[in-house]
Amino acid sequence: MPQGATERKPWQYGAAPLWPAAMTAPRFHFSIAATDGKARTGTIRMQRGDIRTPAFMPVGTAATVKAMKPADVRATGADIILGNTYHLMLRPGAERVARLGGLHRFMRWDRPILTDSGGYQVMSLSALTRRSEEGVSFKSHLDGSAHMLSPERSIEIQRLLGSDIVMAFDELVPTTTTVQQQAEAMERSMRWAKRSRDAFDAGGEHAGRAALFGIQQGALDEKLRKASADALLAIGFDGYAVGGLAVGEGQEAMFATLDFAPGQLDPDKPRYLMGVGKPDDIVGAVERGIDMFDCVLPTRSGRNGQAFTRRGPINLRNARFGEDERPLDESCACAVCGQFSRAYLHHLIRAGEILGAMLMTEHNLSFYQGLMEDLRAAIATGTLSSFAADFRAAYHGGGTGD
């Protein structure tokens, strides 16, 4: 060992332990520091660290934010990431992750992790599903093996993973289904929410340090959303998600629903819009009172050569960037924009080099976290309306990033 070097334990990442020996912060506490219209900025305090809101959670589907190391994800400004129950239960398996010390230690991320319930992936990825009051039986998209995911099993998996924010199990139906189908799915989701609550509360030590969020359903229908919210509030959760949106209904319909749905939930608890989204989706949702977001878009787009900039998204595969010596976004302070040109990134993407996906993803995540930082500052100073107008004007001012 070199002179002066510090020996690191196997569970350490970087120079500090993966988590403190004694966690003294509260289990879960949400405080609102400022409001601007319906928008709020504040802090969620948890034992593994504070989460500044509005917050964007990078998606770490299979125990990794694709093309990024954990320390680099944190360096973009992320306070929390999302893990996926469905994918992790199938591979490598929740029991295996538990034997290896839990998801934080497994992937070397020392801050909060929110795990979704797996319900969306069961519905969208598995060709053969059968829904019943018990849960959803399905075949794995990996090997065709049969599985049953119920509220109790979903909560158990999230407990085995060691999730900090656990999501209740729910049933999602498209907004194109009939009102009767939407009502039946919402009512079943509320029964599952109660079973999720009971299963979480029986979780011993994990329940004593983690939080549980309920998920509002009801598609685009205000009355169904209100009935769902009332049922969730009667059960009681640490936070509430607005589910069933960003599934093809379009931005106008989503915003119309967000004009009323967040206000039906507890104003003193965080509100999480699942699976959103594009930068202008996020700005509009924050204006309507949403506190938390997640989406695969910045990482998926980065791997496919698309970069987000304040003047709109750009496709680095386009030949016109072959000799463009400018950074991706001249207003961006990220390490990628500080070192590399569009021409170089164009070359990496066109050549299929892994570094291209890494650098593009790093920039996109930095862009998203920078947007959240700007939104928090605008709310704190009472200037959100002007910030949002300026952002939309620039972002939609041609859509070329030039």
Tens of pLDDT along the chain (402 residues) come to 334 333 434 333 343 345 444 556 789 999 999 999 999 999 999 999 999 999 999 999 999 999 999 999 999 999 999 999 999 999 999 999 999 999 999 999 999 999 999 888 877 765 678 889 999 998 888 998 999 999 999 999 999 999 999 999 999 888 999 999 999 999 999 999 999 999 999 999 999 999 999 999 999 999 999 999 999 999 999 999 999 999 999 999 999 999 999 999 999 999 999 999 999 999 999 999 999 999 999 999 999 999 999 999 999 999 999 999 999 999 999 999 999 999 999 999 999 999 999 999 999 999 999 999 999 999 999 999 999 999 999 999 865 566
Which residues carry a binding-site annotation?
A: 116-120, 170, 217, 244, 332, 334, 337, 363
The reported pLDDT for the residue numbered 15 is 36
The reported pLDDT for the residue numbered 7 is 42
Hey, is 151 helix, strand or coil? helix
CA end-to-end span of the chain, whole Å? 50
Q: Are 168 and 237 in contact (CB under 8 A)?
A: yes
Rg (CA), the chain: 21
For the domain spanning 29-295, the CATH number is 3.20.20.105
Sign of CA dihedral 20, 201, 236, 157: positive
Q: In angstroms, rounded to a whole number, what is the distance separating the alpha carbons of residues 369 and 70?
A: 15
Element of type H or E holding 124: helix 119-125
Sign of CA dihedral 191, 195, 197, 198: positive
Q: C-alpha distances in angstroms, 238 versus 32, 110, 150, 167, 271?
A: 15, 21, 21, 10, 10
Segments making up each domain of the chain, as ranges: 29-295, 306-395
Which residues carry a binding-site annotation for substrate?
A: 116-120, 170, 217, 244
- What's 262's DSSP letter? G
Q: Are 269 and 237 in contact (CB under 8 A)?
A: yes
**pTM for this prediction:** 0.93
- What's 15's DSSP letter? T
Structure tokens at 30: 């949400």
Element of type H or E holding 42: strand 39-46
Q: Which residues are catalytic?
A: 116, 294
Q: C-alpha distances in angstroms, 399 versus 137, 252, 314, 324, 394?
A: 43, 19, 7, 17, 9
